Amino acid sequence: MTDKELTDPHAGAKDIADHIGPDATLLIVDDDGPFLRRLARAMETRGFAVDTAESVAEGVAKSKTNPPKYAVVDLRLGDGTGLDVIEAIRQRRDDTHIVVLTGYGNIATAVTAVKLGALDYLAKPADADDVYAALTQRPGEKAEVPENPMSADRVRWEHIQRVYEMCERNVSETARRLNMHRRTLQRILAKRAPK
């Protein structure tokens, strides 16, 4: 803590409130329960009034009844796509700062999310600091270049995982689409993700 925060414990809270603004409503939509709860707690400690949803249907319903000023939406949910939640938010409110999270690095969906009004696009696992920075980014500000960007091996692994998921975890179909031998693909899938 800084000397200022020690003498005035509410100084940090005031700075955070000024950065977030008077409307601190935040909707987090993610079907990964433990991640959702951790992120919700972390965002509450940063000054947000957090509401959560674990499905597209729940996210759309909450967006319609109480459209938030801030939203963090997972792209792939058990009952559909987070793009539907983004559309529901945009129909009710056009000033919402939306950040899309996904475990699948996919340029096409990133472009679609941005066209629908997402402010930023973060790959999972994103930490609370990254999410907070993306949510509070001012218009025209550029995101900092990550110190440790994904390696080429990691990008390749992410692409293989995305195609594997699109093929509903069918190894033979994935190998065919990637023009790869089935056994080679099985060895890649059995390994941990590269850094």
Model confidence over 88-114: pLDDT tens digits?
999 999 888 999 887 655 556 666 777
Task: Set out the domains of the chain in order of their start, with CATH numbers.
Answer: 21-136 (3.40.50.2300), 152-190 (1.10.10.60)
Centre a 10 Å sphere on the Cβ of residue 16 and count the other Cβ atoms it contains: 16
- Contact in structure between 96 and 121 (CB atoms under 8 Å): no
pTM (two decimals) = 0.66
Angle ∠(31,35,40) on CA atoms, nearest 5: 100
In tens, the pLDDT along 56-72 reads 999 999 999 999 999 99
Contacts of 76 (CB under 8 A, 6+ apart): 82, 102, 103, 104, 165
In tens, the pLDDT along 2-30 reads 333 333 344 444 455 557 888 899 999 99
Cis peptide before 125 (omega within 30 of 0): yes
Instruction: Check residue 169 and give left, alpha or beta (phi > 0: left; psi -120 to 50: alpha).
Output: left
* Residue 140 pLDDT grade (very low, low, confident, very high; cuts 50, 70, 90): low
- For residue 29, give the nearest of 51, 7, 6 by alpha carbon: 51
Assigned token pair, 127: 């930490």
Is the pLDDT at 173 greater than 90, yes or no?
A: yes
End-to-end CA distance of the chain: 32
- Cα separation, 171 vs 185, in Å, equals 7
Beta bridge partner(s), residue 28: 52, 72
